[in-house]
Amino acid sequence: MKVAARSLEHHMRAVVQSIVDSYPKENTCAKTIAALVELRLGSSLSTDEIAYLTLHCARLSMPTPAQ
């Protein structure tokens, strides 16, 4: 069981790193949001949560298709 947990943790770190590498500007934005959350709520976000925010920032920064 411990081996499986370590393997999953390794893969999760790789996913987070891939998100950070793919979206550096959006990751900076997500870190700013995380800092604001910490100031407002007094609770810090995990690395996984910041990666999740990075994906949302990336989605919001994508150009919209011409209508």
List pLDDT tens digits, range 5-64.
677 677 789 999 999 999 999 999 999 999 999 999 999 999 999 999 999 999 999 888
Cα–Cα dist 15/50, whole Å: 12
**What is the pLDDT at residue 67?**
58
66 belongs to a structural domain: no
Task: Match 């011409």 to its residue by tokens.
Answer: 66
Q: What is the pLDDT of residue 9?
A: 75
Q: Is residue 49 part of a domain?
A: yes
CB 23 within 8 A of CB 57: yes
Residue 12 lies in a domain: yes
The CA distance from 33 to 40, in Å, is: 10
CA distances for 48 relative to 53, 64, 65, angstroms: 9, 27, 30
Q: Greater confidence, 67 or 39?
A: 39
Q: Which two tokens stand for residue 7?
A: 């393997």
Is residue 32 in a domain? Answer: yes
Q: Which domain holds residue 30?
A: 2-59
In a domain, 29, yes or no: yes
Total of domains in the chain: 1
In a domain, 65, yes or no: no
What is the pTM (predicted TM-score) of this model? 0.80
Q: What's the token pair of residue 11?
A: 């893969």
Report the pLDDT value the prediction gives residue 28, as an integer from 0 to 100. Answer: 98
